[in-house]
Structure 1
Amino acid sequence: MFKGLGTAMITPFDKELNVDYNSLKTFVKYQLDNGVDSLIVLGTTGEAPAIEEEEREKIVNTVVEIVNKKIPVIVGTGTNNVNHVLKNNKVAESAGADGLLIVTPYYNKSTQKGLVEYFKYISERTTLPIIMYNVPSRTGMNILPETVVSIHENCKNVIGVKEASGNISQIGELFSIKPDSLKVFSGNDDQVLPIMSLGGDGLISVTSNVAPRPFVELTHSILNNDLEKARKLNNQFMKLNKLLFKEVNPIPVKYAVSLLGLCENVVRLPLVKASQETEKLLKEEMERLDLA
């Protein structure tokens, strides 16, 4: 689907909490101008659970139209209701999106066998390629390496996994048993170097909302085996990575993007604005990096 850097996009809101489509268009153009390899719309960073159905359709259509096939547009469609996932998939298909990011069911959770059946059921009802999303800290559900491989082998259009378990040992085990056809993307900015060094295809990034160009350079350096440059960039941006998760994502990154003048610092409940301490630390670090 893509190699290198995919930005897990924010969804801009105005001060009245409406989706700010003008800012959305500007933000997409900013990402394109900085050379990102893919855009991921309405994932965790895009506050997908707080987006209404009619907003979803307009957001996806807006991004697809602006991108105009220059790079892949991947839409987060996962929920814990399989029929809602199928509806969200239809929206992405109708808009002309290039792929789907589907998180494991949360709250009602599953067994590992249930995950295989879940993704099989969904994959049989869409023609778009699917990236599984493993983020146990959000879902309470972990996809084990053997299950990831089983889903890939049983679902012809499940082509990869976004790994955000944070468990490098587990991810290393996945690389040891997976076929070459299964793509692995780091779902954590602070683990891109080890995951891609193990053979990962890229990063689905939060930090690239505010620093797209450096993270394009970082991921491409790893792909080109320029580990010296990759280590330097990785170390340079590690503090920013950590600050962007000092509070629940996307609270800090929304503030950070607002410092660039690309959106208002507005999130929807149950999220609230970052604390003054977090804002102060983020502003200082972005100034140090010449980002703001």
Structure 2
Amino acid sequence: MSLIQQLRGTGVALVTPFTSDLSIDYTALTGIIDFVIDGGVEYIVTMGTTGETPTLSKEEKKDIIQFTYEKVAGRVPVVVGVGGNNTAELEKELGWFPLDKAIAVLSASPYYSKPSQEGLFQHYKVLAAASPKPILLYNVPGRTGRNLSAATTLRLAREVKNIAGIKEASGDMAQCMEILRDRPGHFLVVSGDDALALPQIACGMDGIISVAANSFPKAFTEMVRLSLKHQFREAKALNDRLIAGYELLFAENNPAGVKAAMYELGLIGNYLRLPVVPVSEPLQEKIHHYVKG
């Protein structure tokens, strides 16, 4: 089975739950994994940026990855996030993290450094050579400060053997359509924007790696499945009910918004590591009413 077939649908970028002393809450993580799998997600992404990875140590990341494999227990595929702006360090991490049970590696583009398109190409080329698993590019310029252009994405897809797909979160529909028009047949393209998943799937994307699926997995995964079947009237009816949820989850910060919703669902404590803080009281109240409504 190809990677496109295995990762078609909804992947969920898991949050990292913490206890009140900000240690990792493995009991809550077990519950989250069961909740999203029971909710219908096709695969799990551990150690994506929604998991607050900039605030986790390498040892914590390694432990969470191994724990996730154990709790998923083969029920769905697992993708592991390994990203950053130090190419040489990431090259080492790809040999250090336990990736044996992963189906692929998701790697966010370098942040802050703002490399040129050639720099981005060479960065990913090094990672692809070092990775024991296929690499999924992650373009999120709103976070990284630099867009991975359609031309660079397609160059990587065609010229670098171990580059298998992209999570596209630029929000630029014209760029997305260019990638979809010209991608090689093996190249996976998924959305990274919950609010744009339906129209992007209509344009040809293979699914999404979602934040909202942490908190609303049943409704969200059903919307995505309907979209992939081109049942857009039914998908739109579900999506219309989710739009207010998307707005609330991202109103102040991700993952503060989705953690607030998961707190209201009784899945986790509402704890985040600095510099991220919980959402404001007025937003928490709105999230409470949306979740309980």
One-letter amino acid matched to 2:245: L
After TM superposition, the structure 1 = structure 2 runs for residues 162-173 of structure 1, keeping only pairs within 5 Å, are 162-173=167-178
Q: Which residue of 2 aligns with 1:175?
A: 180
Does residue 42 (structure 1) correspond to residue 58 (structure 2)? The answer is: no
CA shift digits 1:62-105 (9 cap, x unpaired): 00111122211111100101132223323444452221110111
Aligned to 1:113: 118
Q: Whole-Å Cα distance in 1 between the matches of residues 106 and 212 of structure 2?
A: 18
SS at match of 1:16: coil
Does 2:173 match 1:187? no
Aligned 1:245-256 pairs, distance under 5 A = 245-256=250-261
1:93·1:128 contact (CA, 8 Å) conserved in 2?
no
Tell me which of 148, 162, 180 is aligned to 1:157. Answer: 162
Is the Cα–Cα contact under 8 Å of residues 79 and 103 in structure 1 kept in the other structure? Answer: yes
How many residues align structurally? 288
> Which of 276, 284, 291 pairs up with 1:286?
291
Task: Give the Cα separation in 2 of the matches to 1:188 and 1:94.
Answer: 26
- Residues of 1 paired with 2:138 and 2:163: CA distance? 11
Amino acid at match of 1:256: A
Is the 8 Å Cα contact of residues 94 and 132 (structure 2) preserved in structure 1?
A: no
Counterparts of residues 1-292 of structure 1 (less than 5 Å): 1=3, 2-94=7-99, 96-288=101-293
Equivalent residue letter for 1:262: L
Deviation, structure 1 residue 180: 2.3
The 1:67–1:160 alpha-carbon spacing in structure 2 relative to 1, beyond 3 Å, is same
Contact preservation (8 Å) 1:61, 1:95:
no
Post-superposition offset of 1:9: 0.6
Where does structure 2 lack aligned partners over 5 or more consecutive residues?
none
Distance of aligned partners of 1:92 and 1:68 in 2 relative to their CA distance in 1, 3 Å threshold: farther
- Structure 1 residues 149, 120: closer, same or farther in 2, change over 3 A? same
Superposed CA RMSD: 1.2
- Separation (CA, whole Å) in 2 of partners of 1:27 and 1:87: 30
> Match of 1:265, SS?
coil
